[in-house]
Chain A
Amino acid sequence: MRRTLLLICWLATDAALFIAAYAIAYFLRVGFILSSDFPLSLYLQTVLTVTPLWLAVMLQLGIFRLSRVQSDTRNISHILFAAVLGLALFSLAYYFLHDKFFSRLLLIYAGILSFLFAVVWHLAFDQWQRQMLRRNPPAFPMLVVGANREAERFIKLLNERRSPFKPVAVLDSQGSPHRELGGIPVAGKLNKLEEVIKTMRPTHLVQCSNLEHTINLMSVCRQHRITYLLLPSVLGAIAGSSEIIEGRSVIMVKDGGF
């Protein structure tokens, strides 16, 4: 629920900023007057028509996903792509609706401003959203399965970066001698899984060791509507990414090239 409200807020503010960027571009180009040759009302009407399409592109590109790091180069390039697409949609829409073309400089202003506004706002909103989502009780409590060094590194990473996914407990099939891992309590062996799920109510489970339990952990997750995640290191892959080949999901580890 917290995430849904935040997402609605994010989309609404993004839409407002997109419209604002185009409005500022208008005034920068036309001057701070209301021109009768190039009426602001028609201009804004077109911007309003395009805004939902631009947001749809942003959503489709996964820019609002929790797993996205907003400062990541890929994410910024996606925002740029959405800004360019928004610009193209605006030009076409304006032409179709009003049968006119207009200033190229205005388009450049609008493109640059909508891109910059979106980037800056996304960086700020992301930080605020992380804080809101990590507040106790966390919106996305994560259960870590495995008490190895890889798990510890992952927990530290999530906590240092104040990830929306907050580790709340660790379970280890072998029984860890440690009471905590990266500051997170080790709740016991896998026989405590059901109990931990009942008490901690994790929304995500990340498997960091013991490949032989994969199917059973997935089964538990499915029964409790928990999202299952797997570190590639469990498969012996140090760095891998999910890809799709001919419609089939695969983990890909590549050393340069394709």
Chain B
Amino acid sequence: MHVFILAGGFATRLWPLTEKRAKPLLPLAGKPLLSYIIDQIPAGMDITISTNAVFAEDFRKWRKDVPREKIEIHIEDAGHEDQKPGALGAVAMWLESNGIDEDLLLVAGDNYSELNIEKFLEHRTDRPLLAAHDIGETGLAQNFGTIIAGEPASGSPTLPVVSFEEKPLHPKSTFVSTGWWFLPKSCLTVLKEHAISHPDNVGGVFEEFLRRDLKVDCYVFDGRWRDIGSFESYMSIHREIVGERAIVDPGSSILAGTELMGSIVIGPNVKIEKSILRDCIVFGKTTILDSVLEGCIIDENCTLESIDLTDKMLRAGTVLRNKGINPKMSGVF
């Protein structure tokens, strides 16, 4: 079986954090999101990570720090969002160009989950199998691919999928697809055919399987799952994973008068003085002086002085110095 991780997106919704960084390489509690995914995959499996040309170097750099073998970086020929072959298109192209004819574990590189992959794969048969998560509310399911499952066969831990809807307006189920898909090699032809007309819709291939009367199963797992698609979801999983503690890189200095509260992650070469931080992520190489930050994500090379911010993502290189009132300013405009 081959593992194919989709990491070729441009993550425009997380701008500016993803302006110069791929979403799967965003740090979560000080470790790239992609590393969590790799750690979940059983040892010995062949892994291909598919990314675009813009972020290729970042992935190569990340690869050097991962001791595990059998990880290959596949570069899609896309220097821009408009040139993207689409997630499914990228899979199909890779299958075709490498002559892959084996079972496939397809993984979305921008999801965090506590799915036990070994258990998930124990339940694979000759049918496509997807990992599902009960999100609890139909309102929340609107943003994802939803799964309407039938009754399980007696004793089976998996459920037959009756229908699949991509981001429905009125979801009929709270089961959502989590970005972990097992595809037996018998289904790869359908995938390649479907990718020609729908290159950007990975979830759609499951609708296509059902349309062609191919049986699809889902495995519902407990535990956390998040699609890191927005500031809110990123902050929320950060809070859950980090909890009530501060993870501070040893290369950073937390100086007098600073209070770190809630979930805090401070990257390398950060200097914080006379400031209050609650539930914040500071990526690195940043100076924070006399500031109050709550629920903020501060990218690298920022300088903040006498600033109060709440729920903000700051672009790399942002300099905010509150010089206070300028007494020379007159009222004439």
Contacts and interface: CB of A to CB of B under 8 A. Distances in A.
B315 A216 contact: yes
Interface in A204-243: 212-213, 215-216, 219-220, 222-223, 241-243
Given A173-B15, A189-B81, A190-B16, A215 B333 contact: no
B317 interface: yes
Nearest to A223: B317
A212 B15 contact: no
Given A189-B81, A190-B15, A62 B333 contact: yes
Contacts of A33: none
B8 to A, nearest CB: 14
Nearest to B333: A242
Contacts of A191: 10-12, 15, 18-19, 81
Contact of B12 (A175, A215, A219, A220): A175
Interface stretch (A13-21, A34-42, A136-144, A244-252): A244-252
B241 interface: no
Contacts of A189: 12, 15, 81
Interface string B269-310: 000000000000000000000000000000000000000010
A191 B327 CA distance: 38
A215 B15 contact: no
Interface stretch (B29-37, B204-212, B217-225, B318-326): B318-326
Question: What is the interface of chain B mostly: helix, strand, loop, or mixed?
Answer: loop
A52 to B, nearest CB: 20
A220 B18 CA distance: 15
Contacts of A222: 319
Contacts, number: 71
Given A189-B81, A191-B12, A215 B325 contact: no
A216 B14 CA distance: 12
B19 A219 contact: no
Question: Most B CB atoms within 10 A — which of A61, A216, A222, A241?
Answer: A216
A188 B315 contact: no
Nearest to B11: A191
B331 interface: yes
A180 interface: no
A131 to B, nearest CB: 27
Nearest to B299: A216
A89 to B, nearest CB: 19
8 contacts: A62-B333, A189-B12, A189-B81, A191-B12, A215-B309, A219-B315, A223-B317, A248-B325
Interface of A: 60-62, 173, 175, 188-194, 212-213, 215-216, 219-220, 222-223, 241-244, 246-249
